[in-house]
Structure 1
Amino acid sequence: MTGTRKQKKPGANGHSRKAATAAAPLPRVGLAALVLSLVVLGLLAGLNVERKLAIFVAGDVASGDVTATRDLLIEDTESTERKRRQIGDLQPPVFDLDVTVASRIEQQVIEIFNELGEADADDLERVRWQISEELNAEIPLSTLRMWRMSDFQGLVVESVLPWLTERLSGGVARDRQALSTYAGGIIVRDASTDEERLLTSVSEIDELAGLRENLNVFLNRELQKPLRVRQAVLALIDPLLTPTLAYNTEETTLRKRGVMAMVEPVYTQVKKGEIIVRQGERVTREQQIKLQALMSQHSEYFDSAKAGGLFLIGLMLVLGMYLVQVHDRGRVPSDRDGALLAVILLLFGGGAKLLFALQGPLSAGIVFMDVPGDLFPILLPVSGATGVLALFFPFGMCFFAVLLLAFICGLLGGGDLSLFAFYFATALFAVIFIKRAQTRSELLRCIFPLFGATILTWAGVSLMDFRGYSFVAEGVVAATANVLLALITVLSLSAIVEMVFGYTSRFKLLELMSLEQPLLQELMVSAPGTYHHSLVVSNMVEAGARAIGCNAILARVSALYHDVGKIKNPQYFIENQFGQANKHDKLAPSMSALVLTAHVKKGMELAREHKLGQEITDIIQQHHGTSLIAYFHKKAQEQAEARGEDMPREEEYRYPGPKPQTKEAGLVMLADAIEASSRTLNEPTPSRVKNHIDSIVRSIFTEGQLDESELTLKDLHLISEAFQRVLTGIFHQRIDYPDKDKAEAKGGEQRQREKPEHAVRSGEQARQEPGLKVVK
């Protein structure tokens, strides 16, 4: 029988979780559920549910209130044009400076002097007429004779023309009064070199009339010439004078247009929620412009870009959650985790979209207080949704869930960065506070710190977009309602999640820890020895869990139920035999091994039947790992050798596994083996207990049973110390009572003689094989 049965090879079910994680794909069903939920939420985001706006023209009487559905910047065209004209008027005009005027005057004067020098006395009248024509002025003959004098010509050439050249090079206008209209000054541009200078004061510029007067003063005061000479000089120079500054119309217009084009438009800001026009008011032109601008910004029935954006960003966050957990070797979201998160996203994302669609009618329907419509998204208890997830997810997964929910609900709620910040901060603090709650009463007390965090978050959000103290006060009311709704969400939705998805919350674990539970009561009645063993193991496991910082409640409850499968056949386990005949004496070793391994399968069946939760069921399945039932395997080898048969296969005497996949499962395995084998200790002094624990832990570790549990060497050291404290307390020394001790010693010797041989041997074997309890 033992030689013909086919079993799986050792460790067939004990693959390394890290290797499996690297080789196996991510949980497909949960990931597919999340992707599908993002597709649905993307379609909701693209769907436009805003009410159609009523458009009124100037002069109409509004039949209803029109409220801005978003922030708008509306250009005030009249103010913009007025500002541009003002800036254009301040642009200095461009005047071209003609530097050739002085040289032309000098050339004309020299030509006149040459004509006079070449003319005879008889031709003087003809020359006078000719020069008068050139100068366009009647020149007396006496003045012409003075022009012929060499002293006069020297005066003009050496003194008057240099003075005139200097004055003309600075710029001379025809009428300086016309330049005074340019308040910003003028730009003087040298046409020959394109050099420019800005003259802010036109008083620095000469005009033709002033130039004549200055020339007369120069001749009179500086050169001290008589009136007759001064008049002769002015008669020669005055007809030749022309302005050196010419207004450049084309360049001035071009620059003016350029400056006006650089002027920023003047905008009128409209805030989201602002009432543009009230019912019964006569619409003004300004209100009509705002209504038209708001209508032009109104989205179509479906915005595909917005839908695609939500899907892609949501997908990146989901993939980030999976990849971070894989990289950090944390709890990779299972199919159940993905399905729960998908349901939460759909439920609260759809709620945010519904609230956004109804916020207009809702705000109009509340007559007892004037609540702005954009405060209604604050009522959505996103912190309650993440609080539910905090009961079942590790913190790393909760952080990504918070980020994902805040992003999706903020976008679907029609909000901006402020709404996202409110959702994110309040949801993150809800996770922190609820993670610390161990009982339902502590969960209820979480409302106070959560209320404080929510109010502070709202204060920060309202300061980012301050709309007055009345708006802040109304937001405090909405934030208070948000906290109450979040608490109700956690209390109600957590029970539904436990029932539908099969999660086990810490509150349910506390209920399962009660010794009044029907399954524990049945274990106590049917298998009292196993019941006592489970109590001791639970104490050891709890101490070890607290030492290494894992889930102490889950570990303790799992230890209480880890051997419930022995209820079916309690008499096949020596702790329940109490000196009776051992049933394994009449069974083949292979059959005894089947009986022992069956208690794991039956324990899983009872756990599912009593709805203990998947976490506890997994620990029941893994608490023996793939360890070898060494006693019956050796016994089978001895029988096969005596009969001359083939040696039994080792895999037939191993538990089916898998090996412990979590720290809690590894703790239960260690405590189970140590507690069972510690019963064989004689005179269990603290040093013997310590050596015994170290030996068992070393054996289990060496065998590789803890390879997939993520327990480190440091953890094993802390666990050994915790186990030693518990077992030392159980095996504490008592005061010797001579008479009673003699009687107990005598009774112990009698019981030892009556104990079946293989039971004694199994106790010895338990000290060597960590996976083997006394008579398993």
Structure 2
Amino acid sequence: MNGILSRLKKPSCQAASKGCAPCLPGKPCESLSWGFYVFLAVILGASVLSSVRFSSPVKVFLAGEVASQDVTAEQTLRYEDREATKRKREQVSNNQPPVFDLSLDPFELLSKNVLGILALVKRNEEDQEKLRASISEDLNVEISRDTFSTWRSQEFQDVVTLQVLPWLREAYARGVAANPIMFAPYKQGVLLRELPSGMETLHLEGPAVLDMERLKEELDQLLRRDLKKNIRVRKAVFALTGPYLVPSIVYNQGLTQERKREIVESMEPVYASIHRGEMIVRQGERVTADQQSKLQALYAHRGSFLKPLAIPGTFLLSCLFFVLLHLSHGKKSGIRAVSNRDWLTLAAVTAFFVLLAKFVELARISEAHLPVFLKTGQVAFGLPVAGAAGVLAMFLPQALCSFAVLLLSYLVTNEVGGNLYLFSYYMLGGLVYASIIRDCETRQDVLRSILPLAALCVVSWLGIALVQDNAGELTLAGGVHAAFNAVFSLLLVLGLSPILELVFGYTSRFRLMELMNLEQPLLQELMVSAPGTYHHSVIVANMAEAAARAVGANALLAKVAALYHDIGKLKNPQYFIENLYGKENKHNKLSPSMSALILISHVKKGVELAREHKLGDEIASLIGQHHGMTLIAYFYHKAQEQAEAKGEEPVREEEFRYPGPKPQSKEAGIIMLADAIEASSRTLVDPTPSRIRGHIQSIMRKLYNEGELDGSELTLKDLTQASETFHKILTGIFHHRIEYPNLDKSKNKDKENGDKNAAPEKAA
């Protein structure tokens, strides 16, 4: 422990020689501190740890078997439901309309053959019987002599070429099906594709086309009713065209199957979800097909021991939070503004909670045998991330604490396999509890903080349960864990804060309240050994507290540091003017340089006493900064005069300046101003309100122009507010007293009575 503290207190840069703060705890360095890399290593370790997943073996039962044990899902996953996918694909395939081709090729073949026969019988005058027999054989139909004779007549040939063939062409263009029930099985409709154009038309009720029987009936009506042809001509027409009347609409099986295959292949599989903690099958139950599918999915998606890609993924996402931290510091030095001590504190708290979350995650292995109350998904709501936020809020700046809450919420959520709801639960609880703890001034306030935190945790869990549609036993278990979260968080704040305070040298608000007690040994010694310094410190403390509160700084820290800022004078109290009380000034017998060394030494000795009495590094740092690098003007000018009188070389100004560092915070700047203004105000001859105001502005302007306040973060507005606060306090101290009416008579009477006590107005 001492090794850690000594390394934390040791400056790691040469900043002090340049007038800025050394790398003390709580103060920034010019470059990234080694503590940052330690914290980065912890983040990397957490990323590696999150990639390691432990899981219990998944027992797969087949449908119809009796489960010999409970099986609970250890992870939330989406898996392909193969049976449902198969059913859906079959349904989609069956709903795909078949493709039928509509072509005029059958008519073209009919027309070609019919015209060929007519030309042949008309042209061939010889051996008609032989020709008739040949045509009968080709048509596979017996052609009578009467029909053959009709074919040869010019009237018949005109009827066929001018009436029958055009009508058939029109009929074939509309479409001719094989039979009237050809499209009846397809309730989903049919696609009619016209060739050769390829244009497709969807007919939901079946296309309005002719079938072969209807075609022949309408052709007969054309001949008989429209053309008034006798039965001989009608028979001759059917004998000629009948063998060539075939359907023009045919089922395209190849294209239909291809399209079904394409649409099935383009379909998304049907996915089902399994939620972490879901009971898949209970011991003694007969396994259903659906349960078998879930068991097989869990087995197929069982986590591997190590997920290498999760390491860089988690690390990169964690690093994004550093961007948020850097931006939150605005124009400051970003993450360079964080001290080694703060980085190490973050590293320790992060490592502790990541390991705790991993321990909870390990419980999954035996989760199937645990009651609902101890399921990982429920125990995760009891992890006191809010408590970590409360601890950090006691020691870290608000921006850094908020960064830590977000990062810790992410890492713990990732470690236990949580979701966005769990991250929100941790984040809200952490940010709110950090704000509550930051406003606590006593340990009783911390104890009372359990009530709002418990309410927040329970309400947050209830909201999550409603969103996720959880009910009954799960809701009760989660609510209990959420309530216990507040208890664990409170215990963590009360138990861990003293440890961090001791190990890393923090000064908590409660420690400051203890140090403010005037019964503290150092203050008691200061009151007895250096009463003038004590009185000065009390006034400076009141001025610093009021000014810090006015500018939004840490008023309690400023007050306590101001109380102890001059404890270094305890080593040689008689060398400081406020402790002389009319005695001889010992500086009259010392050289100016020696006097300056004595004055300068009280800063160093004050820091040493602060560390010796364990006042805390914040107090020690503020003691070391309360004079900055100001010049001890009185002894410097005296030394100059002596050197000129003796003809010696001019004195070096650096020997008469405080070593610094200059104030590096609002609190340090306010203490410097209050100290300088209070001490110098004692020299005012007639301290009227206007003179006090002018004096305050003069001192503040001098320190501002000398650059002593450059690193203090105090704005001009802050300086104006502090000036007004100082003016009110000093005006109250230097107010005029009224003269009592019987003052002279009272004095004479006192002399006559030999009363040696002070007059009433002097006592006042």
**Structure-1-length-normalised TM-score:** 0.89
* Secondary structure of 1:268's aligned partner: strand
After TM superposition, list the pairs within 5 Å mapping 1:206-285 onto structure 2: 206-285=210-289
- CA drift of 1:14 comes to 4.4
Instruction: Tell me which of 299, 305, 309 is aligned to 1:305.
Output: 309
Instruction: Tell me which of 21, 43, 47 is aligned to 1:38.
Output: 43
Amino acid paired to 1:101: P
- CA drift of 1:421 comes to 2.0
After TM superposition, list the pairs within 5 Å mapping 1:627-646 onto structure 2: 627-646=630-649
Which moved further from structure 2: 468-477 or 249-258?
A: 468-477
- CA drift of 1:135 comes to 2.6
* Paired residues of 1:14 and 1:626 also in contact (CA < 8 A): no
Is 1:173 matched up with 2:177? yes
Q: Deviations over 1:139-168 (max 9, x none)?
A: 222223333333332222222211111111
From the superposition, tell whether residues 583 and 19 of structure 1 become closer, same or farther in structure 2 (CA, over 3 Å): closer
Is 1:534 matched up with 2:537? yes
After TM superposition, list the pairs within 5 Å mapping 1:122-141 onto structure 2: 123-141=127-145
* Paired residues of 2:56 and 2:366 also in contact (CA < 8 A): no
* Secondary structure of 2:739's aligned partner: coil
From the superposition, tell whether residues 198 and 14 of structure 1 become closer, same or farther in structure 2 (CA, over 3 Å): same
From the superposition, tell whether residues 201 and 315 of structure 1 become closer, same or farther in structure 2 (CA, over 3 Å): closer
Q: Distance in 2 between matches of 1:567 and 1:18?
A: 25
* Paired residues of 2:20 and 2:660 also in contact (CA < 8 A): no
From the superposition, tell whether residues 350 and 667 of structure 1 become closer, same or farther in structure 2 (CA, over 3 Å): same
After TM superposition, list the pairs within 5 Å mapping 1:447-596 onto structure 2: 447-468=450-471, 470-596=473-599
- CA drift of 1:743 comes to 11
* Secondary structure of 1:188's aligned partner: strand
Instruction: Tell me which of 14, 25, 28 is aligned to 2:31.
Output: 25
* Secondary structure of 1:641's aligned partner: helix
- CA drift of 1:129 comes to 2.3
Q: Distance in 1 between matches of 2:160 and 2:373?
A: 91
- CA drift of 1:319 comes to 6.3
Q: Distance in 2 between matches of 1:733 and 1:286?
A: 94
* Paired residues of 2:74 and 2:364 also in contact (CA < 8 A): no
Identify the residue that residue 420 of structure 1 maps to in structure 2.
423
Which moved further from structure 2: 691-700 or 478-487?
A: 478-487
- CA drift of 1:375 comes to 1.0
Q: Deviations over 1:101-122 (max 9, x none)?
A: 22322222222222332244x7
* Paired residues of 2:19 and 2:629 also in contact (CA < 8 A): no
Q: Distance in 2 between matches of 1:741 and 1:680?
A: 29
After TM superposition, list the pairs within 5 Å mapping 1:317-716 onto structure 2: 317-318=321-322, 321=325, 324-325=328-329, 327-329=331-333, 332-359=337-364, 361=366, 364-366=369-371, 372-468=375-471, 470-716=473-719
Identify the residue that residue 725 of structure 1 maps to in structure 2.
728
From the superposition, tell whether residues 628 and 328 of structure 1 become closer, same or farther in structure 2 (CA, over 3 Å): closer
Amino acid paired to 1:142: D
Amino acid paired to 2:188: G
From the superposition, tell whether residues 234 and 284 of structure 1 become closer, same or farther in structure 2 (CA, over 3 Å): same
Identify the residue that residue 149 of structure 2 maps to in structure 1.
145
* Paired residues of 1:99 and 1:190 also in contact (CA < 8 A): no
Which moved further from structure 2: 607-616 or 340-349?
A: 607-616
* Paired residues of 1:18 and 1:329 also in contact (CA < 8 A): no
Identify the residue that residue 759 of structure 2 maps to in structure 1.
none
Is 1:53 matched up with 2:58? yes
Amino acid paired to 1:310: T
Q: Distance in 1 between matches of 2:715 and 2:234?
A: 115
Identify the residue that residue 768 of structure 1 maps to in structure 2.
none
From the superposition, tell whether residues 555 and 303 of structure 1 become closer, same or farther in structure 2 (CA, over 3 Å): same
- CA drift of 1:203 comes to 5.4
Q: Distance in 2 between matches of 1:471 and 1:146?
A: 95
From the superposition, tell whether residues 605 and 492 of structure 1 become closer, same or farther in structure 2 (CA, over 3 Å): same
Q: Distance in 2 between matches of 1:533 and 1:636?
A: 27
- CA drift of 1:244 comes to 1.2
Amino acid paired to 2:32: L
Q: Deviations over 1:32-54 (max 9, x none)?
A: 22022123222321222222333
Which moved further from structure 2: 437-446 or 411-420?
A: 437-446
Identify the residue that residue 757 of structure 2 maps to in structure 1.
none
Identify the residue that residue 205 of structure 2 maps to in structure 1.
201
Identify the residue that residue 67 of structure 2 maps to in structure 1.
62
Q: Distance in 1 between matches of 2:682 and 2:741?
A: 23
**Structure-2-length-normalised TM-score:** 0.90
* Secondary structure of 2:181's aligned partner: helix
Is 1:288 matched up with 2:292? yes
Unaligned runs of 5+ in 2: 1-14, 748-764
Q: Distance in 2 between matches of 1:78 and 1:56?
A: 17
From the superposition, tell whether residues 581 and 454 of structure 1 become closer, same or farther in structure 2 (CA, over 3 Å): same
Q: Distance in 2 between matches of 1:146 and 1:129?
A: 15
Q: Distance in 1 between matches of 2:62 and 2:105?
A: 63
- CA drift of 1:640 comes to 2.5
Q: Distance in 1 between matches of 2:613 and 2:330?
A: 32
Q: Distance in 1 between matches of 2:608 and 2:427?
A: 42
Amino acid paired to 1:718: Q
Q: Deviations over 1:639-681 (max 9, x none)?
A: 2233333332221111111111111111111111110111111
From the superposition, tell whether residues 181 and 556 of structure 1 become closer, same or farther in structure 2 (CA, over 3 Å): same
Q: Distance in 2 between matches of 1:235 and 1:696?
A: 130
Percent identity of paired positions between Structure 1 and Structure 2: 47
* Paired residues of 1:16 and 1:707 also in contact (CA < 8 A): no
Q: Distance in 2 between matches of 1:112 and 1:742?
A: 164
* Secondary structure of 1:215's aligned partner: helix
- CA drift of 1:322 comes to 5.2
Q: Distance in 2 between matches of 1:91 and 1:527?
A: 102
Q: Distance in 1 between matches of 2:429 and 2:228?
A: 95
Which moved further from structure 2: 63-72 or 616-625?
A: 63-72
- CA drift of 1:379 comes to 0.8
Q: Distance in 2 between matches of 1:41 and 1:47?
A: 10
* Paired residues of 2:98 and 2:190 also in contact (CA < 8 A): yes
* Paired residues of 2:23 and 2:339 also in contact (CA < 8 A): no
Amino acid paired to 2:111: E
Amino acid paired to 2:212: L
Which moved further from structure 2: 276-285 or 42-51?
A: 276-285
- CA drift of 1:624 comes to 0.7
From the superposition, tell whether residues 362 and 518 of structure 1 become closer, same or farther in structure 2 (CA, over 3 Å): farther
Between the two proteins, the alignment pairs up a number of residues equal to 730
- CA drift of 1:57 comes to 4.2
Q: Distance in 1 between matches of 2:23 and 2:285?
A: 73
Q: Distance in 2 between matches of 1:123 and 1:365?
A: 105
* Paired residues of 1:75 and 1:267 also in contact (CA < 8 A): yes
From the superposition, tell whether residues 195 and 725 of structure 1 become closer, same or farther in structure 2 (CA, over 3 Å): same
* Paired residues of 1:378 and 1:478 also in contact (CA < 8 A): yes
What is the aligned-residue RMSD (CA, Å)?
A: 2.7
* Paired residues of 2:607 and 2:623 also in contact (CA < 8 A): yes
From the superposition, tell whether residues 667 and 456 of structure 1 become closer, same or farther in structure 2 (CA, over 3 Å): same
* Paired residues of 2:97 and 2:190 also in contact (CA < 8 A): yes
